[in-house]
Structure 1
Amino acid sequence: MSEVFDGYERQYCELSANLSRKCTSASALNGEQKKQKVSEVKTGIDEAEALIRKMDLEARSLPPNVKAVLLAKLREYKSDLNNLKSEVKRIESGSLSAATRDELLESGMADTLTASADQRSRLMSTTERLDKSSDRIKESRRTMLETEELGVSILQDLHSQRQSLLHAHNTLHGVDDNIGKSKRILTNMSRRMNKNKWIVTSIIIVLVLAIILILYFKLTK
């Protein structure tokens, strides 16, 4: 999925759980201790908002199918953070009587913590599903890389075979040229032999005729 987003997500979940505990403890405090605890919670909320912004930027830089899933998770985190802010405002608002505070702790705070726990359970379930989706995406990416490597290997083999065929073609072309030259040479030699044959035959005929004439004249005399 995204290691950067996962890192921010882990930090946010830890920080959110810590802030919820601090809110619970701050509700039971008074005076300066309460103010100090609320100040710590506000500082933590600022850090949580910064983490959400970082997660948002990281999610928007990813492919559309991954981005949509991560932005859905971010909406859950933003809702969780808004609940924490509302909780802080309720704590700051006031001068609540001890009875009111106890009632809040027993009812409203319990409901808030229960809702927060349910929300975190949903977030954890969503995170597990996203982790499984991330594993499937990684496996698909690994398969694609293996397929790409196989394709590259096949292309290299085909290129090597093409080079071998081109070399064989060039060799055959050279052999054809040599055969053509040899054929022309043999043709020329055959023509010369035929020409020499006619010349020798003509010479023999002339010599035979000369001998016949000589014999004729000798015999007639």
Structure 2
Amino acid sequence: MSEAFESYERQYCEISASLSRKCTSAAQLDGEKKKQRVSEIKSGIEDAEALIRKMDLEARSLQPSVKAALLAKMREYKSDLNNLKSEVKKLTSANLNQATREELLEAGMADTLAVSADQKGRLLMSTERLNQSSDRIRESRRTMLETEELGVSILQDLHQQRQSLLHANNTLHGVDDNIGKSRKILSAMSKRMDRNKWMIGCIIAVLVVAIIVILYFKLAH
């Protein structure tokens, strides 16, 4: 395994454990202390996301045999991070609901008779719009991160394809060299066979002439 991946993994595990503890403690807090703790947790989640992106880049740059195991780990870490995000969302939602209730109570205490149903409706609509805006911002940020991860993955795949093409090109050059050597060997063998044919033909011709001469002398006498 890559030393860089192990370093990122240790850092992520430490941050994840710390965030889990902070989420548990934040649920017991209220008011400004809870808001401050939630802000710390969100900052820690951003650091964790950065480490996951680094681990993903490092894992995709390794050999396929190692890469598969590391990517499986990455899926577990991403699932863990999504769980932490869900916890933060619950805490944020609880804070927002509590703040809305407090605002309504304060408004009621200030002037109970002056608060009308229309004003309450506008306050609820404003709160709903605020929630929707926050959701859209989070969704846009998530989409941006996913797009970035996809771009990194595509670049890694293109790099691997380029390496494969270069390796195939080198292999073809080696095959061409071997074919050239084989042609030279076959040409040399062909020349030897031609020489051997001529030699055998000459020997046969000499033997035939010798036989004819011998028969001539025998028949002549």
* Higher CA-based Rg: 1
TM-score bracket, shorter-length normalisation: 0.3 to 0.5
Q: TM-score, normalised by structure 1?
A: 0.43
Q: TM-score, normalised by structure 2?
A: 0.43
